Amino acid sequence: MSLQLLKPVVAGLLGLALIISPAVADPKYGGVLKLYWGTLDTTDFHRHTGTISLTHPFAETLTSVSKDGQPKPFLAESWQISSDGLTYTFKIREGVKFHNGDTMTAKDVLANFSRIRAEVKKGWLTSAMEPVDRFEAPDDRTFIVILKTPFSPFLNLIAEAWILSPKSAGWDKTISHPIGTGPFTFDSWTPQVVLKGKKFSDYWMKGKPYVDAVEFDVRELADASLAVRSGDLHGAEVPLSKRNILGEDKNVMLDFRGDTSWYFVSFNNKTPRAPFNDLRVRQAISYAIDKPAILNLSAGESGQLVNQMAAPGNFYYDKAMADADPHRQPNLDKARALLKEANVDPAKVTVRLIGEATDRSVAPIVQMIKRLGFNVENKAYDDLGYQKALSGYEWDIFPGGSGPRNDIFLRFVRLMSDGPNPHLWGGVTDLEFDRLVREASISVDDTKRRALYLAAWQRVIDNYYTVAIGHTPALYAYRKELRDMSIGFNTSAHRADGGIAFAWFDR
Amino acid sequence: MRALYPPGSDPDGRAFVLDESEDRPVAGPTRRFRFPHLRLGTWLGVVIMGAALAIACVGPWISIHDPNDFSSTVNAAPSDIHWLGTDDLGQDVFARLIVGTRLSLVLGTVAALVALLAGTLAALFGMASGRIGNLLVFGIVDLIRALPGVLFALALVVAIEPGTTSVVLALGLAFAPDFARITRASYLQEAARPYVAAAFVFGASPVRIALVHILPNITGALVTQFAIILPRCIVLEAVLSFLGLGVSPEYATWGRMIASASSYTEEAPHVLLAPIVALSVLTFAFAMIGDELRRRFDPARRRIMT
């Protein structure tokens, strides 16, 4: 067949392909977006100590953590870091308006950073502000941060430093009605019930947002998957156990968060009592813990067996370290031999275990420890109660979990002697560990920083401060008619490269 | 004229029960035993309670599974191996239900006893110790009654520390006011009776009159109240467990079973239904028995019957 004859055939096929291929639809405007996406702690965003899920839709930050975990420009159009890593010069985005109509300037940014530094005494932002020497705003579009020492996580950490109008009600004490720059204005909030926002028509991302309003269901739902399937909600974080059921529903799409949650068993490292101050006993308990079984029960096929704080795919994950994990599979014989070697009769020892009441992995872990012959005193507390009980250090073992963090430093800092809430990991006091993490945090070289973090984690493994069990992803479900909605690296509902500003209804 | 036999004067040391129909105290053991005429509901209640007690006693030997053993067979349907299926941790639902029966009965009974003792003794002391004592005791009682029982128990468990003792204590104190009020009402009724006046004339102290003379004569009302409060204790314990604040998580309680199964209603409804049905049936049984006791000990009804 000659080429002349083929031409009309090819053209016809191409034409047919164009007709039958799904058209890339233009975003449509309108609708009220209903989501179950976490909760809100306080209207004074600077003082938040918990989740950041619902803050960004109303107030934005200089940087935004994108789906791959890297900082992206947000309210800062760009930035420069001096060669010594001490000076960060941010170019503030032009034409950004607060919800009250005022134009955001570098002076507003300075006022926010100064307020955070002066007022916020606990929470994640304290780590970001610790190395800061001073702030400067030489003109309306330049904001400079001068650090005392280099601090590599700085750009990721300030992705939680919300920029609010200093005219927000309660600015001098506690902000009661935040005025931000986000795609939605803060409309109303009924704690534990609903948080509402209205479309901000002067939003700086041209043409966005597409929906007229957003309603966040902030009740504590055990399972929002049915509400998504019925159409009562357009998107929600749902239990991993619903993955198969939701996967079969043609009206629902699934998405996974970029960063994972990790699960661990911590020993009391601050005031360890005999025999748990003996490394062999800690080893024995670690050999008794059936990591694959725990992951299977809590996450099914989605669990990842990892002995580190970073999961595969993360820059700070190390495969060799994972492969060398002696506790990938339980080994009760070895565990019993270690106890014998340490002269410990488990029948005469009662393990004091503290757990969170809703954590379903605690019961299997208790059974695993009991298999060695130990008695277990298992105390379950509510969300606040277990943290209080842990801080008393009247315990031996704590099985727990930890959610996504904007930077790996925020995971390591928890194990530092002077880190925030050190009791969750048993109050580790290891000066060498502290030094390695500190060195990593000031290192401007990626490879060197990774090596330092890994060296620090190797100390955790060798000393059995905490035994990492594995990682589980977080599952999100959206209605099919909701287009271009996505979850990023962390739990935030809005970011520079996706989230609710990009979402629209195709009805 | 009513004959007065102050309690304690019986050579055998038995307490007398004043039978209004005969105007003289009658010692129980001297009466001929008659098989009680019970209503169908009461019979059902007795049979269910008997079965629950039997299960609580011998249940662990019936089940072939350890209630705490987990497996990879999660949310399985009922089968020959797992009679009521398995839960989200692969634990045998039947084995856990049996353990839960024992725990619910024991915890409910002990908590109801704590409530009975605390409420009755506090009320008797308040009534016997004059106006100030009365005001003080019943001020506290009214204060507790003003709070919803669940909230009060929840606050107590959180304030003390989660665990079996704190749960029993919380349940006991939450329901103690119910006994206090019944005791007070019965006390006032009994205090007007001549035997109390006689005891006073003989020089008995108010506390002695309350504990030795009046208390034995109000046991009927207290037993009835106990039968009403016991299922409420069981249900409230289940609520606390459901909220994760009950006894230690390693114990399989019905409330905890309901809480964990509620996330899997679609995949494994039988796991949720099993403890709910058990709780409902046991509560029904106690309600029937309590109703029968109330009928029998209700003074107004007794007068009509005689």
SS3 call for A235: strand
Q: What are phi and psi of A480, to 5 degrees?
A: -60, -35
Strand order, beta sheet including A350-356: A375-381, A350-356, A397-402, A261-267, A466-472
What's the gap in Å between the CA of A230 and the closest CA on chain B? 14
Pick A99 or B264 by higher pLDDT. A99
pLDDT at B302: 57
The least confident of A206-215, A387-396, B296-305 is: B296-305
Instruction: Write the CA distances from A164 to A55, A122, A157, A171, B142, integer angstroms.
Output: 11, 19, 17, 9, 49
DSSP secondary structure of A320-384: HHHHT-TTSS--HHHHHHHHHHTT--GGG-EEEEEEETT-TTHHHHHHHHHHTT-EEEEEEE-HH
Confidence band for B61, pLDDT divided at 50, 70 and 90: confident
Exposed (0-12), middle (13-18) or buried (19+): which is B261, by Cβ within 10 Å?
buried
For residue B91, give the nearest of A483, A62, A366, A172 by alpha carbon.
A366
The least confident of A5-9, A139-143, A203-207, A324-328 is: A5-9
pLDDT at B39: 84
Percentage above 70 pLDDT, chain B: 85
Confidence band for B27, pLDDT divided at 50, 70 and 90: very low
pLDDT for A143 beyond 50: yes
B211-240: average pLDDT: 90
**Which of A222, A355, A381 has its CB closest to that of B262?**
A222
Q: What are phi and psi of A118, to 5 degrees?
A: -80, -35
| Peptide bond connecting A275 to the previous residue in cis, omega within 30 degrees of 0 | yes
Chain A interface mutation, best of B69, B86, B89, B271, highest count of A Cβ atoms under 10 Å:
B89
pLDDT for B10 beyond 50: no
Q: What is the pLDDT of residues B39-48, one digit of tens each?
A: 888 999 999 9
Interface membership of B250 toward A (CB under 8 Å): yes
What's the gap in Å between the CA of A175 and the closest CA on chain B? 30
pLDDT at A408: 93
pLDDT at B263: 84
Confidence band for A437, pLDDT divided at 50, 70 and 90: very high
pLDDT for B60 beyond 80: no
pLDDT at B298: 65
CB contact under 8 A, A222 and B90: no
Percentage above 70 pLDDT, chain A: 95
pLDDT at B303: 55
Interface membership of B86 toward A (CB under 8 Å): no
B207-234: average pLDDT: 90
DSSP secondary structure of A169-231: BTTTS--SB----SSEEEEEEETTTEEEEEE-TT-SSTT---SSEEEEE-S--S--HHHHHHT
pLDDT for B301 beyond 60: no
pLDDT at A352: 95
Instruction: Write the CA distances from B259 to A359, A382, B13, B91, B242, integer angstroms.
Output: 12, 14, 50, 15, 5
Confidence band for A18, pLDDT divided at 50, 70 and 90: very low
Q: What is the pLDDT of residues B255-276, one digit of tens each?
A: 889 988 988 888 899 999 999 9
B187-211 residues labelled b (16+ CB within 10 A) or e (exposed):
beebbebebbebbeeeebebebbbb
pLDDT at B256: 86
Tell me the torsion sign for CA atoms B238, B174, B149, B224: positive
pLDDT at A6: 52
pLDDT at B139: 93
Pick A104 or A421 by higher pLDDT. A104
Confidence band for A379, pLDDT divided at 50, 70 and 90: confident
CB contact under 8 A, A360 and B89: yes
What's the gap in Å between the CA of A363 and the closest CA on chain B? 6
Q: What is the pLDDT of residues B146-194, one digit of tens each?
A: 988 888 888 888 888 778 888 999 999 999 999 999 999 999 989 888 9
pLDDT for A281 beyond 90: yes
| Peptide bond connecting B177 to the previous residue in cis, omega within 30 degrees of 0 | no
CB contact under 8 A, B243 and A357: yes
Tell me the torsion sign for CA atoms B154, B155, B156, B160: positive
**Which of B245, B248, B264 has its CB closest to that of A378?**
B248
A174: number of CA atoms within 13 Å, CB side?
A: 6
* Cα separation, B213 vs B196, whole angstroms: 7
SS3 call for A305: coil
pLDDT for A298 beyond 90: no
pLDDT at B130: 83
* Cα separation, B227 vs B296, whole angstroms: 13
pLDDT at B246: 78
A359-373: average pLDDT: 91
Count of CB atoms within 10 A of residue A286's CB? Answer: 23
Across the strands, what pairs with A195? A189, A216
Confidence band for B137, pLDDT divided at 50, 70 and 90: very high
Tell me the torsion sign for CA atoms B296, B297, B298, B304: positive
User: What's this model's pTM, rounded to 2 decimal places?
Assistant: 0.77
Interface membership of A240 toward B (CB under 8 Å): no
SS3 call for A88: strand
pLDDT at B29: 52
Q: Judge whether A484 and A167 are in contact, CB under 8 Å.
A: no
Q: What residues in A contact B161, CB-CB < 8 Å?
A: 379
Chain B interface mutation, best of A351, A360, A369, A384, highest count of B Cβ atoms under 10 Å:
A360
Instruction: Write the CA distances from A477 to A187, A222, A302, B263, integer angstroms.
Output: 25, 15, 15, 16
CB contact under 8 A, A379 and B244: no
Q: What is the pLDDT of residues A105-120, one digit of tens each?
A: 999 999 999 999 998 8
B104-125: average pLDDT: 94
Percentage above 90 pLDDT, chain B: 40
What's the gap in Å between the CA of B271 and the closest CA on chain A? 16
**Which of B158, B248, B264 has its CB closest to that of A241?**
B264
Q: What length does chain B have? A: 306
Count of CB atoms within 10 A of residue A464's CB? Answer: 20
Which two three-digit tokens encode residue A155? Answer: 């750009």
pLDDT for A39 beyond 60: yes
Interface membership of A387 toward B (CB under 8 Å): no
What's the gap in Å between the CA of B240 and the closest CA on chain A? 11
Taking all residues of chain B, what is their mean pLDDT, rounded to a whole number?
83
Interface membership of A239 toward B (CB under 8 Å): yes
Residue A202 Cα to chain centre, angstroms: 30
pLDDT at B96: 93
* Cα separation, B222 vs B180, whole angstroms: 10
A160: number of CA atoms within 13 Å, CB side?
A: 30
DSSP state of A400: E
Instruction: Write the CA distances from A186 to A57, A125, A199, A216, B131, integer angstroms.
Output: 9, 22, 9, 12, 57
Taking all residues of chain A, what is their mean pLDDT, rounded to a whole number?
91
* Cα separation, A462 vs A480, whole angstroms: 48
Q: Judge whether B21 and B302 are in contact, CB under 8 Å.
A: yes
* Cα separation, A253 vs B8, whole angstroms: 78
Q: What is the ipTM metric for this complex? A: 0.70
A491-503: average pLDDT: 95
* Cα separation, A347 vs A325, whole angstroms: 28
Q: What are phi and psi of A375, to 5 degrees?
A: -85, 145
pLDDT at A229: 96
Instruction: Write the CA distances from A207 to A235, A395, B198, integer angstroms.
Output: 22, 55, 93
pLDDT at A1: 43
Q: Judge whether A33 and A456 are in contact, CB under 8 Å.
A: no
Confidence band for B35, pLDDT divided at 50, 70 and 90: low
What's the gap in Å between the CA of B65 and the closest CA on chain A? 14
A65-73: average pLDDT: 90
SS3 call for A476: strand
Across the strands, what pairs with B17? B26
Count of CB atoms within 10 A of residue A230's CB? Answer: 10
CB contact under 8 A, B244 and A380: yes
